[in-house]
Amino acid sequence: MNTLSHEPFLRRSFALARQATEKGNHPFGALLVDAGGTIVLEAENTVSTEHDCTGHAETNLMREASKRFDSDFLASCTLYTSTEPCAMCAGAIYWGGVSRVVFGLRESALLELTGDHQENPTLDLPCREVFARGQRSVEVIGPLLEEEAKQVHRDFWS
């Protein structure tokens, strides 16, 4: 897929992030796209409403994806996310077997926006570094549409 084909899926992840905030959660959204370009699963952040510190969008997505799909299918999928996966989410993606991640906002840019906000104690650790420690490859594309991705967070954290 080229950059242009990533844009609609990233924009959908931004929409999911906005939906999460409308439900009282933090602004993060993720979706899983199969090899044919079909969205097969979507998830939002649920940390606040579920009172679950692991309720990040990507982890929620991978929890459900691993129940629904086999490892061969997941290996053929791309995970799109509004913001670069944190270390926990990168681990879930890795263990779930997804082979490609495309994100909007860099984790370091999120840290610049949120600072020391108590609801987002960001780990400034790029997902590429987490994946590089694994035994199989995970392709990472991003940041893309970063200004659009930032706006979702500006609206929430400010």
Active site residues: 58
> 14-34 as b/e, with b when 16 or more CB fall inside 10 Å?
bbbbbebbeeebbbbbbbbbe
Question: How wide is the angle at C-alpha 33 spanned by C-alphas 32 and 35, nearest 5°?
Answer: 140
Provide the CA 62 distance to its chain's centre, in angstroms: 10
**Residue type at 117?**
H
C-alpha closest to that of 43 among 63, 61, 55, 69: 61
- C-alpha dihedral, 61 to 8 to 101 to 52, nearest 10°: -30
Residue 116 is classified by DSSP as: T
Provide the CA 89 distance to its chain's centre, in angstroms: 8
